[in-house]
C-alpha cells in the first residue's frame, strides 16, 4: 500500500525510531509499504519515520543510478565502520524539490537484519553509501538539511511551509467544490 510521506518540518521527523523486536509479518508489511511508497515517489531510499512509523526500518534501491544494486531492506541498521569523505548533492522525499551538497563518509559497512530477520553485513560505496547514511540519519531524527548552515536550512524551511500552505489551500478548495458539500454540515 502506498503511504503518505511526511513533509519536513514535522515533529515526527525529529523523533528517534525504536528498535524492531522481531522481523515478523507486521514488519514485512511495513517494509513492503515503504518500498511501494518509495518507488511511487521515484526515490532511492525511504526510512520508516517518513511514513510516520517510528521503527528502525529502511528500504533502499539505488538501481536506477547505480548498476548491480537492487532493493535492500535494513532493519535495526548499525553503521559499524566508515571510511573517507565524499560530497554528494542530496535530496529527500520528505523535502520535495530541494537538493544540497552534503559531506559524508565515502564508504560504510552496515550491519542489519534482512527481510527474513537474518543478520547480515553490507559494504557500501557510491550512492548506496550516501543513501545508507541519509536513511540511518532519519532513524535518529536527523534530516539532510540538519547538515547545512542554519541560513540555508531556514530558507528551505520557509519554502516547505509555503508548499504545505499551498497544498492545504488546494485541498480546502477541492472539498468546497466536491458535490454534496452544501449538505455536509
Question: Catalytic residues, which ones?
Answer: 135
Q: CB nearer to Zn ion: give 7 or 92.
A: 92
Tell whether residue 13 is a contact of Zn ion (CB under 5 A).
no
Residues 6 or more apart whose Cβ sits within 8 Å of residue 111? 77, 78, 80, 119, 120, 121, 122
CA distance 74 to 61: 11
Residues 40-69 that bind Zn ion (CB under 5 A): none
Q: CB nearer to Zn ion: give 117 or 141.
A: 141
Q: CB nearer to Zn ion: give 75 or 92.
A: 92
- Closest distance to Zn ion from the beta carbon of 2 (Å): 17
96 contacts 7 by C-beta, under 8 angstroms? yes
86 contacts 108 by C-beta, under 8 angstroms? no
- Closest distance to Zn ion from the beta carbon of 138 (Å): 6
- Closest distance to Zn ion from the beta carbon of 90 (Å): 8
Q: Is 157 exposed, middle or buried (0-12, 13-18, 19+ CB in 10 A)?
A: middle
Residues 74-133 that bind Zn ion (CB under 5 A): 92
What residues make contact with Zn ion under the rule CB under 5 A?
Answer: 92
Amino acid at each position: 500500500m502506498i503511504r503518505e510521506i511526511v513533509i519536513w518540518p514535522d515533529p515526527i521527523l525529529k523523533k528517534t525510531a525504536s528498535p524492531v523486536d522481531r522481523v515478523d509479518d507486521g514488519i514485512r508489511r511495513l517494509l513492503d509499504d515503504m518500498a511501494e511508497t518509495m518507488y511511487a515517489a521515484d526515490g532511492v531510499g525511504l526510512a520508516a519515520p517518513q511514513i510516520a512509523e517510528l521503527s528502525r526500518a529502511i528500504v533502499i534501491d539505488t538501481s536506477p543510478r547505480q548498476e548491480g544494486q537492487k532493493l535492500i531492506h535494513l532493519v535495526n541498521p548499525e553503521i559499524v565502520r566508515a571510511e573517507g569523505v565524499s560530497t554528494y548533492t542530496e535530496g529527500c522525499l520528505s523535502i520535495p524539490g530541494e537538493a544540497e551538497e552534503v559531506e559524508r563518509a565515502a564508504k560504510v559497512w552496515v550491519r542489519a537484519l534482512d527481510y527474513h530477520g537474518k543478520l547480515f553485513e553490507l559494504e557500501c560505496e557510491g550512492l548506496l553509501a550516501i543513501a545508507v547514511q541519509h536513511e540511518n540519519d532519519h532513524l535518529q531524527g536527523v534530516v539532510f538539511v540538519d547538515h547545512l548552515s542554519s541560513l540555508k536550512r531556514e530558507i528551505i524551511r520557509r519554502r516547505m511551509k509555503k508548499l504545505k500552505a499551498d497544498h492545504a489551500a488546494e485541498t480546502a478548495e477541492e472539498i468546497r467544490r466536491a458535490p454534496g458539500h452544501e449538505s455536509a454540515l
